[in-house]
Amino acid sequence: MKKYTFTEKKDTRSGFGAGMQVLGQQNPEVVALCADLVGSLKLDAFIKENPDRFIQTGISEANMIGVAAGLTIGGKIPFATTFANFATGRVYDQIRQSVAYSGKNVKICASHAGLTLGEDGATHQILEDLGMMKMLPGMTVINPCDYNQTKAATIAIADHEGPVYLRFGRPVVPVFTPADQQFEIGKAWVVNEGADVSIFATGHLVWEAIQAGEQLAAEGIDAEIINIHTIKPLDEEAILKSVSKTGCAVTAEEHNRLGGLGDSVAQVLIKNLLAPQEYVAVDDSFGESGTPAQLMEKYGLTANDIVIAAKKAIARKNG
Q: Taking CB under 8 A as the rule, does residue 237 contact another protein?
A: no
Which of 39, 58, 89, 178 is in the footprint of another protein by CB under 8 A? 58
Report the sign of the C-alpha dihedral through residues 129, 131, 135, 139, in that order. Answer: positive
Give the dihedral of Cα atoms 100, 105, 111, 115; nearest 10 deg: 30
**In the complex, minimum distance from the CB of residue 231 to another protein, in angstroms, rounded to a whole number:** 23
Nearer to another protein, 80 or 281 (CB): 80
State how far the Cα of 222 lies from the Cα of 168, in Å rounded to an integer: 29
Interaction of residue 93 with another protein, rule CB under 8 A = yes
263 vs 237: CA distance, rounded Å: 16
Q: Is 78 in the site for another protein (CB under 8 A)?
A: yes
Q: In this chain, which of 57, 154, 227, 251 binds another protein, going by CB under 8 A?
A: 57
Nearer to another protein, 83 or 207 (CB): 83
Which residue lies nearer to another protein by CB, 101 or 244? 101
Catalytic residue among 61, 128, 224, 278: 61
Binding status of residue 38 toward another protein by CB under 8 A? no
The DSSP symbol for 52 reads G
> Which H or E run contains 174?
strand 172-174
Strand order in the sheet with 54-56: 54-56, 30-34, 77-83, 107-111, 164-167, 140-142, 230-232
CA dist 133 and 141 (Å) reads 7
73, 270, 293, 315: which one binds another protein (CB under 8 A): 73
Q: Which residues bind another protein (CB under 8 A)?
A: 31, 52-53, 55, 57-58, 60, 62-76, 78, 93-94, 96-98, 101-104
